């Protein structure tokens, strides 16, 4: 009987959140846009009209038209196709980097928040140090040290976004661990690990989910910025930032070569930010302003 009640309650809470989320039209639209991007990232061959590397020197710098809706670049490659293939890098690396930093951030933040005193002090000072270095410079230095490539780019972005998670998790764990049910769990003989994993973290999920969504947006911006300075993804792999870098010298004569890749970055980041806002309002209506 008691078990049944709990299940019913859980379901209704999820429904509550879902209901609040669905009422936010902007967030729902951005969720669909993100799903579309994920489909593009998984099946670019089926969706893109041309191959990303197919060069055609008789068709360079064609303005947007029916055959090439986003125009063509200096090698006569179709920009729309390259933009579609570019989702693989931005979405792929963005998701993996955020997952990595999320895990590390949660571990570090939970340890700092739960154990407090010396552990907290040491961890927070290290985080202060990382925050004192501008993240773009930190990422650039890490990629330079490790070498170009998708994996190293992911590592650099993951490392530089760990402090954000750690701080948020630490703050939530600190408030949560003082509550009575934690004391109850402890008195029933639960270990620290069990208390953190089973009791504290599930109750801190809302801010973590919101932070994760927002930091995918930041990660996508970082990937583009690093590729723009020539670090990270090497040509001819299409990536939005490196497309902008390649096109920079032609932008004065051909506006479309830089407009569309940049627009895609903006729309994607915008969608993740909107989704994050929507999730925050749905998960924690108290925060809604």
Residue 200 CB, nearest distance to another protein (Å)? 15
Query: Are 65 and 126 spatial neighbours (Cβ–Cβ below 8 Å)?
Result: no
Residue 122 CB, nearest distance to another protein (Å)? 11
Q: Which is nearer to another protein, 133 or 197 (CB)?
A: 133
Nearest to 100 by CA among 159, 57, 172, 144: 159
Q: Which is nearer to another protein, 75 or 270 (CB)?
A: 270
Q: Which is nearer to another protein, 50 or 176 (CB)?
A: 176
Residue 132 CB, nearest distance to another protein (Å)? 4
Residue 2 CB, nearest distance to another protein (Å)? 34
Q: Which is nearer to another protein, 42 or 174 (CB)?
A: 174
Q: Which is nearer to another protein, 21 or 270 (CB)?
A: 270
| Residues of this chain that bind another protein (CB under 8 A) | 116, 125-126, 128-130, 132-134, 136-137, 140-142, 144-145, 147, 174-175, 217, 221, 224-225, 228-230, 241, 244, 248, 251-252, 255, 258-259, 261-262, 265-266, 269-270, 273-274, 277, 289
Residue 120 CB, nearest distance to another protein (Å)? 9
């Amino acid at each position: 009987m008691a078990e049944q009640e709990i299940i019913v309650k859980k379901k209704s809470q999820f429904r509550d959140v879902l209901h609040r989320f669905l009422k936010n039209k902007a967030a729902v639209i951005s969720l669909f846009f993100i799903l579309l991007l994920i489909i593009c990232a998984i099946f670019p061959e089926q969706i893109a009209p041309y191959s990303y590397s197919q060069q055609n020197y008789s068709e360079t710098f064609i303005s947007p038209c029916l055959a090439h809706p986003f125009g063509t670049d200096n090698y006569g490659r179709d920009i729309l196709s390259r933009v579609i293939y570019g989702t693989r890098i931005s979405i792929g690396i963005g998701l993996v980097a955020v997952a990595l930093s999320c895990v590390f951030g949660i571990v570090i933040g939970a340890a700092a928040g739960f154990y407090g005193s010396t552990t907290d002090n040491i961890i927070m000072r290290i985080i202060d140090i990382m925050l004192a270095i501008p993240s773009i410079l930190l990422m650039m230095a890490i990629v330079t040290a490790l070498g170009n490539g998708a994996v190293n780019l992911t590592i650099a972005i993951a490392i530089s976004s760990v402090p954000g998670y750690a701080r948020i998790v630490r703050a939530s764990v600190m408030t949560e661990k003082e509550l009575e049910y934690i004391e109850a769990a402890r008195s029933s003989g639960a270990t620290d690990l069990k208390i953190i994993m089973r009791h504290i973290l599930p109750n801190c999920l809302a801010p973590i989910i919101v932070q994760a969504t927002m930091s995918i947006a930041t990660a996508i911006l970082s990937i583009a910025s690093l590729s723009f300075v020539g670090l990270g993804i090497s040509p001819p792999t299409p990536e939005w930032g490196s497309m902008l870098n390649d096109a920079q010298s032609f932008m004065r004569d051909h506006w479309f070569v830089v407009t569309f890749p940049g627009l895609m970055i903006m729309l994607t980041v915008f969608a993740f930010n909107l989704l994050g806002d929507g999730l925050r309002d749905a998960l924690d209506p108290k925060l809604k302003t």
